[in-house]
Amino acid sequence: MSFTQEEIIRSGYKLQAAPVDSWRFYDEINPIPGYFQFDWLSSRHPDLYHQFALSTVGLMEKLHTIIDLTGCDVLDIGAGTGRSAMGAAQKAKRVFAVDFYLSVVLFGKSQLQRTNLANVHYINGDREHLPLPENSVDVVINAWAELNPKEAYRVLKPNGYLIQLGAIPNALCGELTSELAPDYPWLPKDCAPAEVFNPTYPDRQDTADNSIWNGIPVIGSINIHQFTYVAHYQNYSEAACITGRLYGSKAKRYFMTREQSTFSWRLQIIMGQVCK
Ligand SMILES: C[S@@+](CC[C@H](N)C(=O)[O-])C[C@H]1O[C@@H](n2cnc3c(N)ncnc32)[C@H](O)[C@@H]1O
């Protein structure tokens, strides 16, 4: 069944997923859901989003070198198809994976059944009204998703950790950012220089104050760890197909003409300890 973009949005968070692999066929001039519509793309085509989301694997691998989640109850806000929640579950006691879109939750649960993880619990819920009581988790993670810092603060135990994971602000589309920025008004035009995508580019540590989280009380400063990660797709035509569906034909051509199956990202992990 095909929809218009308006019908997809109107049908809301209960929209069913389209059949696996159906994302491979679409109108390149007027795709539905449109390019960069990440929430709608992942709810309509969770199998596409799951294959794309390898940067989250890199984020979670790095996170385990920065903090030990052993024995922790972790809440993953905007858990999506499960890359972040399942990554956290390698160490955590329990992971509560919250996502608003029902199709994504169902897809995530199906992915879980393919693993031997028994400690991930999907919950259909909204980041604005988290379905957990106050002071209930040790760690909140939020990977490639929007955050309501006040709500995250409410559910964290005293001295709990809030952790935001994603790209540095001027490299939201990884090494493709400067290629795509001229075509999309919402991408920052002062793109990160090409050198940061070289896998040997050094990690960088920085700090921020709590203004980045709307002033929620934190202990000391918030730490930012930046690093370069190279994601490997099956082959270059698959890299072109996946990124082309998410970002448009320029992205597709980028991987096809270079016969490139890797995708390099400058990622960051922002971590702070709440004060209650
Ligand atoms: C870009 S995905 C990130 C998924 C996952 N954390 C990862 O890194 O692979 C963002 C997710 O946020 C979810 N989302 C959007 N609005 C939300 C809301 N109000 N509450 C909870 N989740 C939401 C979307 O359904 C989507 O799965």
Tell me the per-residue pLDDT of 158-179, one tens digit each, with 9 for 90 and over: 999 999 999 999 999 999 999 9
In a domain, 42, yes or no: yes
Q: State which ligand 1 atom lies nearest to the alpha carbon of 59.
A: 8
Would the pLDDT of 11 be above 90? no
Q: How far, in Å, is the centroid of ligand 1 from the Cα of 107?
A: 13
User: What's this model's pTM, rounded to 2 decimal places?
Assistant: 0.97
Residue 30 near residue 2 (C-beta atoms within 8 A): no
Strand ranges of the sheet holding 73-77, from the earlier edge strand across to the other edge: 120-124, 94-99, 73-77, 137-143, 156-167, 262-274, 218-232, 204-208
pLDDT at 83: 98
In a domain, 130, yes or no: yes
Mutational pocket test of ligand 1: of 47, 63, 81, 101, the residue with most ligand atoms within 8 Å of the beta carbon: 101
From 12-16, 28-32, 61-65, 259-263, the region with the lowest mean pLDDT: 12-16
Q: Stretch 49-54: mean pLDDT, rounded? A: 98
Query: Cβ(163) to ligand 1 under 6 A?
Result: no
Q: Stretch 233-258: mean pLDDT, rounded? A: 98
Query: Cβ(79) to ligand 1 under 6 A?
Result: yes
Print the domain residue range for 85.
33-169+202-232+265-274
Note the maximum CA span of the chain.
53
Tell me the per-residue pLDDT of 196-242, one tens digit each, with 9 for 90 and over: 999 999 999 999 999 999 999 999 999 999 999 999 999 999 999 99
- Within 13 Å of residue 81, how many CA atoms lie on the same side as its CB? 23
Would the pLDDT of 1 be above 70? no
Tell me the per-residue pLDDT of 74-108, one tens digit each, with 9 for 90 and over: 999 999 999 999 999 999 999 999 999 999 999 99
In a domain, 69, yes or no: yes
Would the pLDDT of 30 be above 90? yes
Query: Cβ(107) to ligand 1 under 6 A?
Result: no
In a domain, 179, yes or no: no
Query: Cβ(45) to ligand 1 under 6 A?
Result: no
Q: How far, in Å, is the centroid of ligand 1 from the Cα of 245?
A: 18
pLDDT at 188: 87
Atom 11 of ligand 1 has which residue's CA nearest to it? 78
In a domain, 65, yes or no: yes
In a domain, 238, yes or no: no
pLDDT at 48: 98
Peptide bond connecting 33 to the previous residue in cis, omega within 30 degrees of 0 = yes
- CATH for 162: 3.40.50.150
Q: Stretch 9-28: mean pLDDT, rounded? A: 94
Tell me the per-residue pLDDT of 108-148, one tens digit each, with 9 for 90 and over: 999 999 999 999 999 999 999 999 999 999 999 999 999 99
Query: Cβ(53) to ligand 1 under 6 A?
Result: yes
In a domain, 148, yes or no: yes
In a domain, 138, yes or no: yes
Q: How many domains does the chain have?
A: 1
- Give the pairing type, strands 204-208 and 218-232: antiparallel
Query: Cβ(80) to ligand 1 under 6 A?
Result: yes
Q: State which ligand 1 atom lies nearest to the alpha carbon of 127.
A: 20
